[in-house]
Every structure is written in structure tokens, then in C-alpha cells.
Amino acid sequence: MPKVLGALSSIIEVDGGRGFIVERQKNRFVLTVAHCLPHLPPCSLMSHGEERTYKHSLGVIGQHAKVWAQCLFADPVSDIAILGSPDYQTFFEQSDQWKTFIQALKPIPIRRPRLGETIYMLSLRGEFVSGVIHSVNEQFLNIESTGDLIQPGMSGSPILNEDGHAVSLCSVNDSQRECAALNLQDCLPFWF
């Protein structure tokens, strides 16, 4: 589990849940679940950056969120969202604040899940709890874990393998305390 512990500083607070830092082509992003966003962005290619930008939505877990972010992708069916920097020309200071915050964190690599592998999730108490992947389909994973530790507030947390790679994303149903685990690579958009 030592490699999993290295991911601890890459898991952040996103409004009512969590997210984590990833890197693609030397650019950093935050992956989270769409239901943690304060609102979904407009369904329009012509929407303005201001309509997709969330104020004071990112921060260190347990501290007051102060970093702004722009939604670059949201899928409410798969419950996944990708956040990036606010527009540099419109939100100069907030874009610089994003860059400073994100660059201080280590990105978590993503990999396909494997049947039977042990996985880890960060509990609300800051401890990693483990489980085992029992089945994998195109969109979701079936994980057997210590379910009583899965709680509202964990949504957006990465589900990590023993090497510290994200294989899934936790989406908690607050009313039933059930956790859906996305097959992360199959739910991400092609451009990502």
C-alpha cells in the first residue's frame, strides 16, 4: 500500500465531494463526479466560459475551498466531470491561482481495472480502505468492500490499485449509501 499513500496529496475537495489531479499532454485537470458540481454547464457549444466557471470550488480537504475551476466536460449519466483552469483572459487572477494550486499537487495516473485486483478508497477519516474488483463491464465495476465506510462526501474520490493508479471514480448515492464505481477509462471522452 505504500504507492497508494503517495496519492493522498493529490486528492482534493470539490464543492460537496472530492476530486483528484490528472495530467494529459503536460496539462493538468481535476477529475470528479458531475453531481458534485454546483450546477451542470449549459448544453451548448456556444456557452461562455463564465457559464462554465465555478467560484471557490476547489481546495485542500478539510479547508475552505478557494480555487475557481471551469468545467470542460460533464456527463450526468456516467456522473463524471473534468475541470480545468478558468479562462485566462476573463479570469486572470483566478487562472493564476488555479495554476499555482494544481502545480503543487502530484497527478495520479489512470489505468484500466483488472478483475480480482485489490483497490483502495480514501475514507472520510483520511484512511485508505480496501476492496476487491469482482466484475468489470464497459461502464462500471463491481467492488466488494467494507461498505459501512462508504459515506456521502466520498464522491469524486479516486479508486486506486496497489500501484497508486486510478482505475475508477467513486460515486456515492447519498440516500442509499451505495457506491457506483466507474470503469474510468471507458467513461472519459475521446479527446481526453
What is the domain partition of the chain in residue ranges? 2-6+109-187, 10-103
Residue environment code for 154-169, b if the CB has 16+ CB neighbours within 10 A, otherwise e:
bbbbbbbbeebbbbbb
Domain 2-6+109-187 matches domain 10-103 at the CATH topology level:
yes
* DSSP-derived secondary structure for the chain: -HHHHTTGGGEEEETTEEEEEEEETTEEEEEE-GGGSSSPPPS-TT--GGGGEEEEEEE-TTS---EEEEEEEEETTTTEEEEEPPPTTTSHHHHHHHHHHHHTSPPPPB----TT-EEEEE-TTS-EEEEEEEEE-SSEEEEEE-GGG--TT-TT-EEEETTS-EEEEEEEETTTTEEEEE-HHHHS-TT-
Q: Is the pTM of this model over 0.85?
A: yes
CATH of domain 2-6+109-187: 2.40.10.10
Task: Tell me the residue length of the chain.
Answer: 192
Please name the fold of domain 10-103. Thrombin, subunit H (2.40.10)
Give, for all 192 residues of the chain, the pLDDT tens digit. 667 777 888 999 998 799 999 999 889 999 999 988 998 988 877 777 778 899 998 999 888 779 999 999 999 988 899 999 999 889 999 999 999 999 999 999 999 888 888 888 888 888 888 888 877 766 666 676 655 556 778 889 999 999 999 998 888 766 555 566 777 777 888 888
**Would you state the pLDDT for residue 177?**
53
Pairing of strands 118-122, 128-136: antiparallel
- Torsions phi, psi for 50 (to 5 deg): -60, -30
